[in-house]
Amino acid sequence: MKITFTIHGDPMGKQRPKATAIGNHARVYTPKNTIQYESKVISAYKEKYGDNVAFQEPSEEVFATIIAYFQLQKTHYGKRGINQSGLDKLSGKVNPTKAPDCDNIAKIVLDGLNGLAFHDDSQVTALFVLKCYAEQPRVEVCLESKPKE
């Protein structure tokens, strides 16, 4: 089985939990931006697949490919359109080396899919994450079951 879907908008990485002190107790919470982006992941999945759990067997291995497309900046455009720097980025000669990190992008996407596309993201046994540039920012997700031998 193979499923694909797109999360439109700027890619985001999972943020670290935050902590506050309330009296003599610490309260740990997930940052608001992380919760909002995970909701965006859920919405993108449900828009295409509804509430169907694609990989129902908890022992089923899943291969995940996540491609995060970052938007070109205004400096990549000139009077005649995209300049050479922008073309180099669109062609893949230059890829983003800025935050968020690949592992944090994968973490926020896979955590958002827990209990939805699969029972738990521990089912993901192979993961490929790529950061690149595009004119429209988005994250494309492909989940595949391990081929039968």
pLDDT band at 149 (very low <50, low <70, confident <90, very high): low
Going by C-alpha positions, the residue among 42, 72, 52, 40 that lies closest to residue 1 is: 52
pLDDT digits (tens, 9 = 90+) for 85-140: 888 888 888 889 989 999 999 999 999 999 999 989 999 999 999 999 999 999 99
Phi/psi of residue 146, nearest 5 degrees: -60, 130
Instruction: Say how many residues make up the chain.
Output: 149
**pTM score, two decimals?**
0.88
The domain total for the chain is: 1
- The parent domain of residue 22 ranges over 2-145
Distances (CA, A) of 85 to 28, 132, 139: 43, 14, 22
d(CA 118, CA 95): 30
What's 23's domain CATH number? 3.30.1330.70
